Amino acid sequence: MRKLVLRTERQTQLIDITAQVRQALEGRSGQAAVLFVPHTTAGIVRQASGEGADAVAADIEAALQRIVDEHWSWRHTAEGVQNPSAHVRSALTSSSITIPLEHGQLALGDIQTIFFCEFDGPRERKIYVTVT
């Protein structure tokens, strides 16, 4: 297992981690890469990026902020915690994804990218990468 560590800069932020995942897979062989985020206020998604899709990450960030409003009356805040919207946004993404490997490389589509999703930043985060 390999561990990626990154530092987020905003409360809600999608970060392209595709290059870091590819680097973590160098020299590894297997059928699939499994990525796991061990945080309850963060997630991971596979989404479009690149030519013709440069604004997808920003649109997803904005949509999740609109769909899950931080200023709602959350019961979780009565427990002294100020991040209930981050938990709900995380529940709308994934805590892990599996991507097939083809000749040791991620079998992603032409514009598919792996995004780490921060919902309670800024802070340091981890992603675990394994090969099966």
CA dihedral 94, 96, 98, 101 (to 10 degrees): 120
Q: Which residues contact 25 (CB under 8 A, 6 or more apart)?
A: 2, 33, 101, 104, 105, 106, 129, 131
Q: Which tokens sit at 75?
A: 């019961």
Which CATH number goes with the domain that contains 112? Answer: 2.60.120.460
Q: What pLDDT is attached to residue 75? A: 84
Summarize the confidence of residues 100-104 as an average pLDDT.
95
pTM of structure: 0.93
7-54 pLDDT tens trace = 999 999 999 999 999 999 999 999 999 999 999 999 999 999 988 888
Q: What pLDDT is attached to residue 73? A: 85
Q: What pLDDT is attached to residue 117? A: 98
Sheet holding 13-16, edge to edge: 13-16, 112-118, 42-48
Residue 127, pLDDT > 80, answer yes
Range of the domain at 96: 2-131
Q: What pLDDT is attached to residue 131? A: 97
Q: What pLDDT is attached to residue 101? A: 97
Residue 59 CA to residue 11 CA, distance in Å, equals 15
Summarize the confidence of residues 99-123 as an average pLDDT.
96
Residue 103 CA to residue 113 CA, distance in Å, equals 18
Residue 13 CA to residue 34 CA, distance in Å, equals 22
Q: What pLDDT is attached to residue 85? A: 93
How many domains, the chain? 1
Residue 29 CB neighbour total at 10 angstroms: 9
Please provide the average confidence, as pLDDT, over all residues in the chain.
Answer: 94
